[in-house]
Chain A
Amino acid sequence: MLGRFDYQRPSTLPEAGRLLAGNDGPAAVLAGGTDLLVDIRGRRHDPRILVDIKRIDALRRLDVDSAGALTIGAAVPLNEIIERAAIRRTLPGLVQAAESIATYQLRNRATAVGNLCNASPAADMAPILLALGADLMAWSPHGERTMPLSSLFVGVKKTCLAADEIATELRILAPEPGLRSGFLKQQRLRGHDLAVSSAAGTYAPSTGVLRLAVGSCAPTPLLLEPIEVGRSSKAVVEEKAVRAVQAAMRPISDTRASADYRRAVLPVLVKRLVADLLAEGGAP
């Protein structure tokens, strides 16, 4: 057995809220479980009650409206995002990030919102969603709030969510026409791995704005200041982006990589990503 805890499967948010707020000790929200159950098994986390949100219909939404605005419910597994043709078409960067996570089997369980709420500096969904300017909706018995995703992360494995608060969905505004997006991740091997470093970005030719975010190089994923591409040459923009990343990153050494390697490889990812995004006829 993984541990001793109670399991509840509410079908509404208020019911889930009551369970989370109950007085039977620490509670945890269970979505895909691919981080939570591993932590419980390793005794890094010892909740008394798991509140499974996968049967709450409101959290199973994966909608793309006619303009391309996207809503990703907290119970939507990554493979659903990956397999949705409309998303593959409009936001390839989001799909690339999702596809880089773990294995096919785990992506049938793991959710995008769960990946964010686990608040790992290496969360692969974070950079692209930051670059896309995603908002996160959170619900609690005291009300609902919307926050920019960047405010979710407060430290390594720490979010701003309250104990009785449930992240319910991600909202991404309709992309500017022709928006390009991309995600690059450095791993130790081609097979499933956590990111040594990652970079994601969007570029809207219509506005000339380049947005970049990076992962695994600071206690939280980092959204960089937008870059006005204007009439600058690709080399100049690349250089600007690389300098911005170098100024912002605070990498550590761990079992996956040394700070030196992260410092060396992240600018490479950023440079390549920018080159892809700015390329004439680059993937939308």
Chain B
Amino acid sequence: MVNGHMETASVPSGLTLLEFLRDRLYLTGTKEGCGIGECGACTVLLDEKPVTACLVLAVEADGCTVETVEGEAADGQLSVLQRAFVETGAVQCGFCTPGMIMSARGLLRRDPNPSDNEIVEAMAGNLCRCTGYAAILEAVRLAAVAVAAQRAAGPLTGETVGSQPAAETLMGETGTERRRFLRGAESTRKDGRR
């Protein structure tokens, strides 16, 4: 099963899961960054666990469930996690982002309320050269808190809310969480003076 669809294929033994997803299923959201499991850009969930698809043979995934970034948004609506990435500024060039999303998804599924250390541990296998990570860690924290807040608030419609990444919603719910990984970050000064 790939993103909920049964896929049947005959593949050469040497084909990686990454190649299968990208070249056979055209799920190009999953990226190749190094091919040796060091960068995390190809992170997908294999039976709900994050793995680097470049170091899994496609045949090894026979009979397993595979989830990729393409399965994260439901009906064209961003998940809370995806919105959190957009709203915190966790996305720059975006090449590491699909892998980051899947690492975060794996974490939040096994622990919807992770500690800061658990967030770092879960995300540290994904390299990013643009953002300096702080916003990404914030995004995962924000997503966890926002989902918890929604659960507490009442009936849930999955984890999906809204179609527009409106800055107010997630941030508003979690104002104090916003800068957890950027302790001390000062607000922008407008006047040029302290």
Expressed in whole angstroms, the Cα–Cα distance for A2 and B36 within the complex equals: 11
Residues of B within 8 A of A13 (CB): none
- Given A33-B55, A33-B56: A1 in contact with B16 (beta carbons within 8 A): yes
Indicate which residue in A4, A7, A34 contacts B57 across the interface (CB closer than 8 Å).
Answer: A7
| Cβ–Cβ contact A34 & B14, under 8 A | no
Residues of B within 8 A of A50 (CB): 13, 57
Expressed in whole angstroms, the Cα–Cα distance for A30 and B59 within the complex equals: 12
Let me know if A52 is at the binding interface, CB within 8 A: yes
Q: Which of A101-109, A112-120, A273-281 contacts B (4 or more CB under 8 A)?
A: A101-109
Expressed in whole angstroms, the Cα–Cα distance for A54 and B62 within the complex equals: 12
Indicate which residue in B13, B50, B57, B60 contacts A104 across the interface (CB closer than 8 Å).
Answer: B50
Q: How many A-B residue pairs have CB under 8 A?
A: 82
Residues of A within 8 A of B56 (CB): 33, 109
User: Which single residue of chain B is at the shortest CB-CB distance from A8?
Assistant: B13
User: Which single residue of chain B is at the shortest CB-CB distance from A40?
Assistant: B14
- Given A7-B13, A38-B36, A52-B60: A104 in contact with B103 (beta carbons within 8 A): yes
Q: Which of B69-77, B82-90, B118-126 contacts A (4 or more CB under 8 A)?
A: B118-126
Indicate which residue in A7, A9, A30, A38 contacts B37 across the interface (CB closer than 8 Å).
Answer: A38
Expressed in whole angstroms, the Cα–Cα distance for A104 and B60 within the complex equals: 19
User: Which single residue of chain A is at the shortest CB-CB distance from B121?
Assistant: A104
Residues of B within 8 A of A227 (CB): none
Let me know if A192 is at the binding interface, CB within 8 A: yes
| Cβ–Cβ contact B14 & A1, under 8 A | yes
Report the minimum CB–CB distance from B96 to chain A (whole Å).
Answer: 13
Let me know if B98 is at the binding interface, CB within 8 A: no
| Cβ–Cβ contact B122 & A5, under 8 A | no
Report the minimum CB–CB distance from B59 to chain A (whole Å).
Answer: 5
Residues of B within 8 A of A37 (CB): 16, 55, 57
- Given A1-B15, A1-B16: A106 in contact with B125 (beta carbons within 8 A): yes
Between-chain CB contacts (< 8 Å), 13 pairs: A1-B12, A7-B13, A9-B62, A33-B55, A33-B60, A34-B55, A50-B13, A103-B37, A104-B50, A104-B122, A105-B40, A108-B50, A109-B56
A residues near B (Cβ < 8 Å) are 1-7, 9, 30, 33-34, 37-38, 41-42, 50, 52, 54, 79, 102-106, 108-109, 191-192
Given contacts A3-B14, A104-B122, 13 further A-B contacts (CB under 8 A): A1-B16, A4-B13, A6-B13, A9-B59, A33-B57, A41-B36, A79-B49, A102-B125, A104-B124, A105-B37, A106-B55, A108-B51, A109-B56
Chain A to chain B: the 7 pairs with minimum beta-carbon distance, closest first: A103-B125, A7-B13, A1-B14, A108-B49, A105-B50, A2-B14, A38-B36
